[in-house]
Amino acid sequence: MNIPIDRQLDILTARSVDLVSRAELRRKLETAAAAKRPLRVKYGADPSAPDIHLGHVVGLNKLREFQDLGHTVVFIIGDFTGMIGDPSGRSETRKPMSREQIAANAKTYQDQVFKVLDRARTEVRFNSEWCAALAFPDVLRLTAQVTVAQMLARDDFQKRFKDNQPISVVEFLYPIIQGYDSVQVDADIEVGGTDQLFNLLVGRDLQKAFGKEQQVVLTLPLLEGLDGVRKMSKSLGNYVGIAESPREMFGKIMSIPDAMMARYFALVLGRPDDEIKALEQALASGKRHPRQVKDELAQAIVARFHSPAAALAASAEFERVFSEHKQPDEIPTIVIPMAQRKNGKLGVMALLVAAGLAESNGAARRLIQQGAVKIGEAKITDIATELAIPEGCVIQAGKRAFARIVSA
RNA sequence: GGUGGGGUACCGAAGUGGCCAACCGGGGCAGACUGUAAAUCUGUUGGCUAACGCCUUCGAUGGUUCGAAUCCAUCCCCCACCA
């Protein structure tokens, strides 16, 4: 590796929010280079939600940058954490997951993660490997390392405490478990979102307590989801999964607020600062149209996780369906046997429900009354309409829902 | 263990005997417009019904009442504070 250390530092710290500390990172890079030993870069994942989305990609990109400079990623799957059930959702304690479930999720995770990471430079570990072996006295020794004041200093705990929101003791254990993972895998660096800062720092404390070299802590911005406000997460439903179909992926990206485009370019695609600045200027001056820029963004993201060809196709399809209001080229087929029809005919409401385009007759009625329903090219406005459905005709409910009806 | 505060539709949150299928906000869905599943505006958002209306829902179960989300009893669950 002959890239100068300063250049490496610039690459590795780009887009970061917190860095503890630059001097330490430099020193580690230097000693690693001298000893021809890759650094161990730790990243933790919770197996409760196996689908990787663009929010995760922000961190994975950073890990990939480390790998491209020759370092090793230690990807930790928090299966131990999964087994005791994640309490971080404030209202309800999640049900602990079964072994099979965790194994299945872990597999999905790995399949997806290597769309970004370099498999050859990744070490996958499960934290049950060492956590399950801990005896209670070990746990006591660990917990003694962190004080309640330290815990309460953490942003979200403090807020919840002030608001009289419950905080379970298990939640206090989380940072400790995570920190202990760092001890076990001899992490040189740990990467996480800004919300992880506290947990990452606990890792440093515990490593010190165990007489190990402390890890460098590097945090990255949290990517906002499709609403452009709250962080992207599966539970909020504002995410784009990297395993989603090109069409879904493209459409979802097109629905982000315009103001988020630059951020997605930077965090998901890792585009350099000067390019982002130029883009923002072009947008502000009206030199480039937001619609085109967003199309480019959506295409770039689809191309990254599928292929350039798929991106092009998704873009064309989107244009056709939403700008020109034509039918998509792939429409799911629904079978409605002749037996269900009266004299070969069927009421529109029954049809909508049978085709899965409406949840109930009431919903179907509303759709029709609001002018959302089309059979072929004809808009249906009367809820009492009876139809002799021609074989293969297309029914549309709203902008996005289509179904092709056949009788057998 | 004691005291106090709570459990309302997808979420948050009003409602304390009839005007409550339940204000309002968010989210969802739809329409208009458009530059896109952006923004904005409008409508809609338990089930059955063409409609009148009927049925189920306000932690659970019983009860009072012509009538309950609202009152009473028992139970279950959550939170905070003091120990």
Q: How many residues does chain A have?
A: 408
Specify whether A73 is located in the same domain as A139.
yes
Our measurement of CA A156 to C1' B5, in angstroms, reads: 23
Q: Nearest to residue A326, comparing CAs of A399, A227, A223, A244? A: A399
Same domain, A10 and A60: yes
**Are residues A19 and A110 located together in one domain of the fold?**
yes
| Nearest amino-acid residue to B36, taking CA and C1' | A254
Rounded Cα gap, residues A175 and A151, in angstroms = 9
Give A89 CA → B11 C1' in Å.
14
State the pLDDT at residue A97: 66
Confidence of residue A89 (pLDDT cuts 50, 70, 90): very low
Q: At A363, which CATH number?
A: 3.10.290.10
The reply to whether A211 falls in a domain is: yes
Q: Does residue A209 sit in the same domain as residue A256? A: no
- Closest nucleotide (C1' vs CA) to A257 is B38
Do both A251 and A390 map to the same domain? no
| pTM as predicted | 0.85
Question: Average pLDDT over chain A, rounded to whole?
Answer: 87
Among A291, A323, A355, residue at a domain's last position: A323
Tell me the mean pLDDT in the region A325-334.
89
Pure H helices in A260-344 = 261-267, 273-284, 290-305, 308-318
Is residue A42 a contact partner of residue A215, using CB atoms and an 8 Å limit?
A: yes
Q: Is residue A283 assigned to a domain?
A: yes
Domain stops at, among A279, A305, A323: A323
Give the Cα separation of A305 and A152 in Å (integer).
40
Q: How sure is the predictor about A2, in pLDDT bands with cuts at 50, 70 and 90?
A: confident
Number of domains in chain A: 3
Q: How far is the CA of A163 from the C1' of B80 (A)?
A: 10
- The CA distance from A318 to A316, in Å, is 5
Residue A379, CB, strand B, below 7 Å: no
Q: pLDDT value at position A4? A: 87
> Nearest nt (C1') to A250 (CA)?
B37
Residue A269 reports pLDDT greater than 80: yes
Which nucleotide, over all strands, has the C1' atom closest to the CA of A247? Answer: B37
The answer to whether A85 CB is within 7 Å of strand B is no
Using CA atoms, how far residue A163 sits from A155, A167, A172, in Å, is 12, 11, 17
> Of residues A152 and A372, which shows the higher confidence score?
A372
Range(s) of the domain holding residue A258 = 246-323
Asked whether strand B has any atom less than 7 Å from the CB of A366, the reply is yes
A168: the nucleotide nearest its CA (via C1') is: B79
Residues A92, A207, single domain; the answer is yes
What distance in Å separates the CA atoms of residue A46 and residue A192, rounded to the nearest whole number?
12
Sheet holding A40-45, edge to edge: A19-20, A216-220, A189-193, A40-45, A72-77, A122-126
CB of A376 nearer than 7 A to strand B? no
The pLDDT assigned to A47 comes to: 79
β-partners of residue A404 are A333, A394
Q: Is nucleic acid strand B under 7 Å from A165's C-beta?
A: yes
Structural domain contains residue A370: yes
| CA distances in angstroms from A368 to A350, A352, A362, A384, A387, listed in the order given | 12, 10, 10, 10, 14
Predicted confidence at residue A95, as pLDDT, reads 53
User: Distance between the two ends of chain A, CA-based, in angstroms?
Assistant: 63
CA A304, A52, A254: angle at the middle one, nearest 5?
55
pLDDT in tens, A181-195: 999 999 999 999 988
Q: A323, A347, A376 — which closes off a domain?
A: A323
Nucleotide nearest to A290 (CA to C1'): B35
Q: How far is the CA of A347 from the C1' of B56 (A)?
A: 26
Q: Which nucleotides of B are covered by protein (CB under 7 A)?
A: 12, 27-32, 35-39, 43-51, 78-81
Shared-domain flag, residues A263 and A350: no
Whether residue A80 is predicted with pLDDT greater than 80 in this model: the reply is: yes
The predicted-structure confidence for A209-263, as pLDDT tens digits, reads as follows 899 999 999 999 999 999 888 889 887 888 999 999 999 999 999 999 998 999 9
Structure-derived torsion over alpha carbons of residues A99, A104, A108, A109, reported in degrees to the nearest 10: 0
**Which residues on neighbouring strands pair with residue A125, listed in sequence order?**
A76
Q: Which nucleotide is nearest to A92 (CA to C1')?
A: B78
DSSP-assigned letter for residue A224: B
Asked if the structure places residue A228 within a domain, the reply is: no
